Amino acid sequence: MNQLQTLDYTVFLFYFIVVAGYGYWIYQRKKSSEASTKDFFLAEGSLTWWAIGASLIASNISAEQFIGMSGNGFSMGLAISTYEWMAAATLIVVAVFFMPIYLRNKIYTMPQFLNQRYNKTVSLIMAIFWLALYILVNLTSILYLGALAVSGISGLSFMTCMVGLAVFAIVITLGGMKVIGYTDVIQVFFLVIGGLATTYLAVNLVSQVFGVDGLATGFRLMQEHHDDHFHMIFKKGDPHYMSLPGLTVLLGGMWIVNLNYWGCNQYITQRALGADIKTARNGILFAAVLKLLMPVIVTLPGIAAFALYSKGLYQQEMLGEDGLLNPDKAYPVLLSLLPVGLKGLSFAALTAAVVASLAGKANSISTIFTLDIFKNYIGKNASEKQLVNIGRWVVVASMVIAILVSPYMGIEKKGGFQFIQEMTGLLSPGIFASFVLGFFWKRTNSAGALFAIVGGFLVALLMHLNRFPFADWTTVPFLDRMGWVFLICVAGMVILGYVLPDEKKGLEVDVAAFKTHRTFTWGAAAVLATIALLYWYFW
C-alpha cells in the first residue's frame, strides 16, 4: 500500500532532474569567475526578493515541520501553528529593525557581528556553540525525520534514505549560496503544490469516512467532531499547556524563540545579508506571506490523520517500534494513502523540504567555520579559492557527522519538532539578549555578552535538568523557562554594563533607516491583520 509505483518514480525523477539541472545551470553561469567567499557563502547582490523569500521558507520548512508539526497537529491540534503565524509577525520586526543594522554595519555572519560589537572571545565561543547546535540538533533532526518519512513511503532502508538525502543536499550546497537560493525557488514550488495536494486528499478522506464528499465539508466535520483541536490558546490544566502555555505564545517566550531564530541566526539571515535593504525587506515580507500558508500544509494533515484515527482507521500504522502510538507517523501514513502519481508529487515535496533545509544549514555551518574560525585562527593567509574549498569540505564533513550521530540523539522520544525547540531553547535566550542589547544599548559590553551566552546556557541547562533553585522547574513550561532565562541574562548584562567601564563599541544605528517603503508597509499591515483575525477566530 505504501510503495511507490512507476508513475510516482517518474514524477519524483522529474523533480530531481529539474532541481539538479537548474542548479547546474546556475553554477555553470558563474563558474567562469574567480571563486569568491562572498559569492559562495552569500551570493552577494545576486538574489532577487522572490528568491530570498523562497529560500527563507525552503530552508525553514523541513522534516521537523512535515513530520514533527503534523505529529503535533495530530496530538494537540491547530495550536502548534503558533510557531508559523507568530513567525510571520516576527519576520516583519526583523525586516524593519534588524536588517538595516546588519546591512549598514556590513555584517555578513553572526559571529562577525559579535566580534565587531564585542570581541573575538565572544565571537569564537558563539561560533562553536552555533556549530554544535546546527550539526548535533538541526542537521541530525532533519536527516533523521526526513529519512524516517522517505523510508516509510519508498520502502528503502532507513540508512539508505539518510545517505541519499545527505548526498543530494551536498550536491546542491557545493554550488554555493547562489545555487541554493535559486534552486530553493523550485523547491518551494514542489513543497507548496505537493503539500497542498496531501492536505486536500487528507481532508477529503475525512469527509468520505462520514459518507459525504468535499474539502469544505471535511474541514467542517473536523471542527465539529474535534473542536479541541481547533483552539490556539491553551488554558492552565490543559494536557498540552506545558508545550504551549496560554498567552506566552503571544506575549512571552514565543517571541524569544522567533526573534532569535529569524533575526539572530546565520542559517536564516544569511539569505538577505547580500542584498540591499529594499530587496531584503521585500524578500522577508514574501517569506512572511508564505508563513501564513504553512499550517495548511503541515498542521491540517495531522488533524485530519487524528480524525481518521479516531474513527478506528490506521490504528496499526500509527504505532511506533515500541508498540505505542507515535504521532510523528501521521504524515508518512497519509502519504501512503495517496493515489499513484500524487504520491510521487508529495514525496517530491517532502524531499524538497528536507534537501533545501539540509543545504541551507550545511552552507551556514560552512560559512561560520570558514569565515569565523578557519580564516581568523588557522588559515589567516588563505586565498579566496582555498577558503571556498575549505567551505566545501566542511559541508561534507558536517553531513557525515550528522549521519553518524543522529540515531543516538533521542529524537524519536520527544517528537521531532519539540526536540528541536527544547534543545535550541537552551541557547536562544542568551543569544537573543546579547544581540538585542548589542543593537540598541551602547553600554552593553563583552563581559555582559559572555554572561548572557555562557551563563544563560548554563542557567537554561540547570532548569532543564531541574537543578536550578527557587522552583520545581519540571512544572514550568519550557517557553516560560526561556522567558526567565532571558530576564536573568538582561539583568546581568545591565549590571555589568554599569559596573564595568564603557567599551564604546556601539554599532551605527540610523533611526531613519527603520522607515519602510509604501509597498512593504501595506504588505506588512495585511500580514499582521491576517494573524490577528486568525487568532480571534481560532482563539
| 465 within a domain of the structure (yes/no) | no
In whole numbers, what is the pLDDT of the chain averaged over residues?
83
CA distances from 350 to 13, 335, 418 (A): 14, 10, 19
- Per the structure, the count of domains in the chain is 1
Could you give the dihedral angle defined by the CA atoms of residues 398, 399, 400 and 405, in that order, rounded to the nearest 10 degrees? 90
CA distance 380 to 463: 40
| 77 within a domain of the structure (yes/no) | yes
pLDDT of residue 159: 87
Q: Helices (H) and strands (E) in the chain — how many of each?
A: 28, 0
CA distances from 530 to 85, 293, 296, 394, 437 (A): 9, 11, 14, 41, 30
Of these ranges, 185-194, 225-234, 369-378, 398-407, the one predicted with the greatest mean pLDDT is: 225-234
Which of 71-80, 141-150, 389-398, 477-486 has the least mean pLDDT?
Answer: 141-150
CA distance 537 to 230: 10
> Which tens digits make up the pLDDT trace of 111-169?
888 888 898 888 888 888 888 888 888 888 888 878 877 777 777 788 888 888 888 88
CA neighbor of 460 nearest in space, from 501, 422, 509, 495: 422
pLDDT of residue 389: 85
The model's confidence at residue 89, banded by pLDDT at 50, 70 and 90, is very high
| CB 53 within 8 Å of CB 271 | no
The model's confidence at residue 32, banded by pLDDT at 50, 70 and 90, is very low
Range of the domain at 316: 6-32+50-416+527-537
Amino acid at 78: L
| 422 within a domain of the structure (yes/no) | no
> Which tens digits make up the pLDDT trace of 201-220?
888 888 988 888 878 888 89
Whether 300 shows a pLDDT value over 90: the answer reads yes
Concatenating the DSSP letter of every residue in 399-460 gives HHHHHHHGGGS-HHHH-HHHHHHHHHTTTHHHHHHHHHHHHH-TT--HHHHHIIIIIHHHHH
Neighbours of 339 (CB within 10 A): 11
| 440 within a domain of the structure (yes/no) | no
> Regarding predicted confidence, which is higher, 336 or 279?
279
pLDDT of residue 414: 55
**What's the DSSP call for residue 35?**
P
| CA-only gyration radius of the chain, Å | 23
Q: List all residues 6 or more positions away from 397 whose beta carbon is below 8 Å from its beta carbon.
A: none
pLDDT of residue 1: 44
Which of 113-122, 185-194, 234-243 has the least mean pLDDT?
Answer: 185-194
| 461 within a domain of the structure (yes/no) | no
Concatenating the DSSP letter of every residue in 200-259 gives HHHHHHHHHHTT---HHHHHHHHHHH-GGGS-SSPPTT-TTTTTS-TTHHHHSHHHHHHH
| 279 within a domain of the structure (yes/no) | yes
Residue 106 falls in which region: left (phi positive, over 0), alpha (psi -120 to 50) or beta: left
> Which tens digits make up the pLDDT trace of 329-384?
888 788 777 778 777 877 777 777 787 778 778 888 888 888 888 888 887 788 87
Output the nine-digit C-alpha cell for 516. 519602510
> Regarding predicted confidence, which is higher, 111 or 305?
305
| CB 115 within 8 Å of CB 521 | no
CA distance 510 to 507: 10
CATH number for 380: 1.20.1730.10
| 468 within a domain of the structure (yes/no) | no
> Regarding predicted confidence, which is higher, 222 or 51?
222
Of these ranges, 362-366, 456-460, 471-475, the one predicted with the greatest mean pLDDT is: 456-460
| 507 within a domain of the structure (yes/no) | no
The model's confidence at residue 412, banded by pLDDT at 50, 70 and 90, is low
Whether 91 shows a pLDDT value over 50: the answer reads yes
> Regarding predicted confidence, which is higher, 34 or 527?
527
Q: List all residues 6 or more positions away from 103 whose beta carbon is below 8 Å from its beta carbon.
A: 273, 276, 277, 280
pLDDT of residue 417: 66
Whether 35 shows a pLDDT value over 60: the answer reads no
